[in-house]
Amino acid sequence: MSRYFTKDHEWIEVSGEEGTVGITDYAQSQLGDITYVELPAEGQAVKAGEAVSVVDSVKAASDAYSPVSGTVAAVNADLDSAPELVNSDAEGAGWLFKLTLADSGELAALMDKAAYDAYVAGL
């Protein structure tokens, strides 16, 4: 599995033609306590950079963008009753949705962990 990051603080972990998407630990720490997550519909086609989810917190509502194009294959239904999973495990159990990738070549435009860490360090 390979994990990639965006400058908008999303991550995608890719295995074969499927990617699991969420917001980074940095993003959840900036948002504060997550109170609600609006997830996309399964089967929804999304484009890279498109806002597909909304993460509400005590501070603000923030869009979550799809790192790559594809079709939503699954959503994290656990977030309906436990949105705080995004705070406690943003890059694990707090994932938002899974995508069937339309073009794995789009991954080349994303950052690896080292590049993302360096990007965040510069903010």
Give the pair of three-digit tokens for residue 86.
Answer: 């995004």
Quick one: which of 2, 1, 5, 123 has its CA closest to 64?
A: 5
Give the pair of three-digit tokens for residue 54.
Answer: 């909304």
Q: In angstroms, rounded to a whole number, what is the distance separating the alpha carbons of residues 24 and 121?
A: 14
Give every residue of the chain whose pLDDT is below 50, as ranges: none
Classify domain 2-102 at the CATH topology level: OB fold (Dihydrolipoamide Acetyltransferase, E2P) (2.40.50)
Side chain identity, residue 113: K
Cβ-contact 50, 38 below 8 angstroms:
no
Please state, in angstroms and as integers, the Cα–Cα distance from residue 112 to each residue in 10, 18, 117, 118, following that order: 12, 17, 9, 10
